[in-house]
Structure 1
Amino acid sequence: MYEYKFVETTLGGFFTEASHRETIMEHAKDGWRLVQVLPTNYNGHGKPREYEIIFERRLEMID
């Protein structure tokens, strides 16, 4: 069985830098595995502005 984590992020903009790589590496250190990146919000030109990064990790089964 797995547990899932959903993290909102952006790929940066004109005045901001992207932080998605740092987000992925930070969660990987804690045992999370990247599953998928989904765009969740678009600008007026149809370009994604916000994303949801989905992570998973195996649950430890306790007998």
Structure 2
Amino acid sequence: MYEYIFVETTLGGFFTEADHHEKIAEYAKQGWRLVQVLPTHYNGHGKPENYEIIFERPLKG
């Protein structure tokens, strides 16, 4: 069995930096494995702005 965690992130924009690399590295150090990245919000031009990163790891015990 696995446990899952869902982490909101952005790929950056005109005024913001992308932070997805740091978040993936941070969770990987804790034993989480990247499963999928899903766009969760689109701007008026149809471009994804926000993403949800899904991680999993085996249940302990």
TM exceeds 0.5?
Answer: yes
Secondary structure, counterpart of 1:24 in structure 2: helix
Return the alpha-carbon distance in structure 1 between the equivalents of residues 55 and 23 of structure 2. Answer: 11
Q: What residue in structure 1 maps to residue 34 of structure 2?
A: 34
Match of 1:20 in 2: 20
Residue in structure 2 matched with residue 54 of structure 1 by the alignment: 54
What's the Cα RMSD here? Answer: 0.5
TM-score using structure 2 length: 0.97
Amino acid aligned to 1:44: G
Report deviation, 1:60. Answer: 1.8
**Structure 2 stretches lacking a partner, 5+ long:** none
Give the TM-score normalised by structure 1: 0.94
For structure 1, the 5+ residue unaligned runs are: none
Computing the radius of gyration from Cα coordinates, the structure with the larger value is 1
Q: Which amino acid aligns with 2:7?
A: V
Quote the sequence identity (%).
79
